[in-house]
Amino acid sequence: MNEEPIAKRRHHSGLFFILLALVLLITISLSAGMGYMKIHWTVVLRVVGAHLTGITSWTADLDELMRVIIMDVRLPRILTAAAVGGGLALCGVVFQGILLNPLADPYTLGVSAGAAFGAALALLLNLSVAGAYSVPCFAFLGATATLMLVIYLSSSAGGANANNLILSGIIVAAILSAGISFLKFVADEQVAVIIFWLMGSFASKTWTDVGLTSVFLAVGAGVFLFYAKDLNLLCLGRRAAASLGVDARRVPWILLISASLVAAGCVAVSGIIGFVGLLVPHMMRTLVGPDNRLLLPFSMLSGAILLTWADTITRAVLPHEIPIGVLTALIGGPFFCYLFRKRQTGARGF
């Protein structure tokens, strides 16, 4: 067997990964300098370098306000957006592989609806048991409870196959959507706050948010990459995967629950942000192929880049900041229609 094409492909994949990582770093540097106060990207690097190394002489000639803007205002928001984008993209790859459905995304099992209901309930009742993080906590609890309910319904319906999971997710999401509508109806003057959260935003994020989303992302990425080879085989169908040595009963549950919890963590911090987990896996699949050992890390970086730029546009480019979920839907919706139409007509698409 000729190993030269395989080695060349691995070499190209490695270069592409390094390129995406550099693009992400450049994106973060440029984004941190954009806003009401323009800051050159070299100044951003000096401030971050001084903060990491403790060499204060690098920023001795800079205004303290500039350091505060970069380290305490912009970077937490930017890094949170990057972590959420990477997490949603990873979950999209896993859901599409496990459910064998190209339309699957991180919200297929109703996780977003559960998070939205929990957040809306916390906002309506003005709950403050966890201080400033009461709404994210209730959003995560709502998403987790929804996941358990969906698993219970699908398992009791003759086995947890893909169709049962998707159908259970649709049913539970529809019920929760009605509940959210009722909460908005009785919210009165707080309805605007609920609607704003539901549309997604990275405003006022802190380093705590960065830490939370980074933990979810790191743990999820570790689990997904560990089972990437099994996920490749599961894409062939559970019977074929079982015949090739995959535990077709345990591994799908591990991946589905892990992906749902990562999505729940992302939604709890950012609100509802659609299309990232749906589009990024399709785009990367055409560039690196269907091998999840490559698709997962490439999708994570691409999702981080996409959502960081989307948030930068809403924050620093548009005359008025709009919720990030609105922008991703406006961009992703038409693009997905184009992608779907290309496939329907048999033309070459992604």
pLDDT tens track, the chain, 350 positions: 444 555 556 667 888 899 999 999 999 999 999 988 889 889 999 999 998 888 888 888 888 888 899 999 999 999 999 999 999 999 999 999 998 888 888 888 899 899 999 999 998 888 777 667 788 899 999 999 999 999 888 886 445 678 888 889 999 999 999 999 999 998 887 888 888 888 888 988 999 999 999 999 999 999 999 999 999 998 888 888 888 888 888 898 899 999 999 999 999 999 899 889 888 998 899 889 889 999 999 999 999 999 999 999 999 888 888 888 888 888 888 877 876 777 667 555 54
Helix (H) / strand (E) containing 308 = helix 292-312
The residues, any chain, with a CB within 8 Å of residue 5's CB and separated by 6 or more, are none
Q: Report the CATH fold assignment for 4-345.
A: ABC transporter involved in vitamin B12 uptake, BtuC (1.10.3470)
Distance CA 115, CA 224 (A): 23
pLDDT for 1 equals: 44
Distance CA 107, CA 263 (A): 8
Distance CA 122, CA 64 (A): 37
- List the chain domain ranges: 4-345
Considering only CA atoms, which of 338, 335, 71, 85 is closest in space to residue 206?
71
278-290 b/e (C-beta count within 10 Å ≥ 16 → b)? bbbbbbbbeebee
pLDDT for 9 equals: 60
pLDDT for 348 equals: 52
pTM to 2 decimal places = 0.90
Task: Measure the CA angle with vertex 147, ends 327 and 251; round to 5°.
Answer: 105
pLDDT for 160 equals: 62
Task: Measure the CA angle with vertex 140, ends 83 and 183; round to 5°.
Answer: 120
Phi first, then psi: what are they for 235, rounded to 5°? -65, -15
Distance CA 107, CA 264 (A): 9
Helices 207-226 + 75-99 axis angle, to 10: 30
Residue type, 286: T
